[in-house]
Amino acid sequence: MSGTTVSQALRDRFESIRRREIDRLHKKLRGLSDADRQLLDAITARVVAALASLPEKELADEAKAPALEALVRVFALDAESPAAR
């Protein structure tokens, strides 16, 4: 995997976790208005973007294979299939 591919897979993993957690908390979030839900979505999306931004910058600069392999293993990025989610 290239640095760009790993970077995108990492962002996708974070986004998948974000959406899964919002879905999991659906009952607790029922009382939120549409505006509150949109705000929650925007805030959590910004958190994902912030978490992913530093690795993305580093991976864009010709990351070494061992570092890429470590990220793939730690975040199970090779398992990013619908069945693994």
pTM of the complete model = 0.77
Say how far apart CA 83 and CA 64 lie, in whole Å.
29
Return the HEC string of 30-76: CCCCHHHHHHHHHHHHHHHHHHHHHHHHHHHCCCCHHHHHHHHHHCC
Higher pLDDT, 26 or 82: 26
Q: Summarize pLDDT for 61-78 with one digit per residue, the tens.
A: 666 888 888 889 999 898
Residue 79: predicted pLDDT: 67
Q: Summarize pLDDT for 8-18 with one digit per residue, the tens.
A: 999 999 999 99
Instruction: Kindly report the number of other CB atoms within 10 A of residue 7's CB atom.
Output: 23
Mean pLDDT estimate for the chain: 86
